[in-house]
């Protein structure tokens, strides 16, 4: 990772910049380089941003623990504390970027986050840990986006908007663990 990639990662992590700063022109101006430099050294804006996303994924992986609840809570807190970085890592449409580049760069780092969740799901008794890790991430992302849009279901809000990601993920954990698991009786977030 280059010093410029690290600088933009640090700026996103600290909140010094937001998603509106992630254009080639604005990034180049912030770094004191030309847009041509970005393209020459990273192939495209997406190439540069993928390196930033990969650094973010490695940072996030370092924050996750061996406890599934704590790791989900970390993911929720990460989105709330670093929304622009979260969006870059998980929600950015990468456009025409070659899939091999995505897999090679941020994809590898992000895959470790999924693998970590799958391993914890397996330890909690999941018989389909990869699918459950996907379901946890989909529920988390969906609840985050609904919360940002302040969208509620047909019956109105179901508790505090900040509880939506927790509730969505807890329903996945309850299904995953089955009857008699700690998820069948324990709800540490909403108790």
Q: 10 near 29, Cβ under 8 Å?
A: no
Give the per-residue pLDDT at 162: 58
Strands (E) in 30-109, as ranges, are: none
Percent of the chain with pLDDT over 90: 21
The three-class DSSP label of residue 80 is helix
Identify the CATH assignment for 3-180 out of 1.10.357.10, 3.20.20.370, 3.30.470.10, 3.40.190.10: 1.10.357.10
Give the per-residue pLDDT at 16: 95
- pLDDT band of residue 27 (cuts 50, 70, 90) is very high
Which helix or strand (DSSP H or E) is residue 118 part of?
helix 108-123
Give the per-residue pLDDT at 128: 82
Summary mean pLDDT of the chain: 77
In this model, does residue 5 exceed pLDDT 50? yes
**pLDDT tens digits, 31-74:** 999 999 989 988 888 889 988 988 888 898 889 888 777 887 88
Highest average pLDDT, of 11-15, 91-95, 149-153, comes from 11-15
Residue range 156-169: mean pLDDT, rounded: 60
| Burial tier of 59 (Cβ tally within 10 Å: 0-12, 13-18, 19+) | middle
**pLDDT tens digits, 98-144:** 444 444 445 566 677 778 888 888 887 778 888 888 888 877 777 77
In this model, does residue 156 exceed pLDDT 50? no
- Sequence-distant (≥ 6) Cβ neighbours of residue 165 within 8 angstroms: 76, 79, 139, 140, 143, 144, 147
| Burial tier of 20 (Cβ tally within 10 Å: 0-12, 13-18, 19+) | exposed
The two three-digit tokens of residue 102, written as one number: 């995505």
Q: What angle do CA 136, 73, 152 make, to 5 degrees?
A: 65
Higher pLDDT, 182 or 41: 41
Distance between CA 3 and CA 162 in Å, rounded? 35
Q: What angle do CA 100, 86, 147 make, to 5 degrees?
A: 125
CA atoms within 13 A on the CB side of 159: 11
């Amino acid at each position: 990772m280059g010093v410029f990639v690290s600088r933009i990662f640090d700026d996103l992590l600290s909140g010094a910049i937001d998603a509106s700063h992630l254009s080639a022109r604005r990034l180049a101006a912030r770094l004191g380089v030309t847009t041509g430099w970005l393209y020459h050294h990273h192939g495209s804006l997406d190439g540069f941003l993928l390196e930033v996303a990969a650094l973010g994924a490695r940072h996030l992986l370092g924050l996750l623990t061996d406890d599934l609840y704590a790791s989900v809570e970390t993911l929720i807190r990460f989105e709330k504390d670093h929304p622009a970085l979260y969006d870059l890592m998980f929600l950015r449409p990468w456009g025409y970027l070659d899939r091999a580049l995505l897999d090679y760069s941020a994809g590898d780092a992000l895959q470790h986050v999924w693998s970590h969740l799958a391993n914890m799901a397996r330890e909690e008794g999941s018989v389909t840990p990869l699918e459950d890790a996907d379901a946890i991430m989909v529920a988390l992302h969906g609840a985050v986006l609904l919360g940002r849009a302040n969208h509620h279901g047909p019956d109105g809000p179901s508790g505090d908007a900040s509880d939506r990601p927790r509730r969505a993920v807890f329903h996945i954990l309850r299904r995953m663990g089955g009857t008699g698991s700690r998820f069948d009786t324990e709800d540490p977030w909403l108790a």
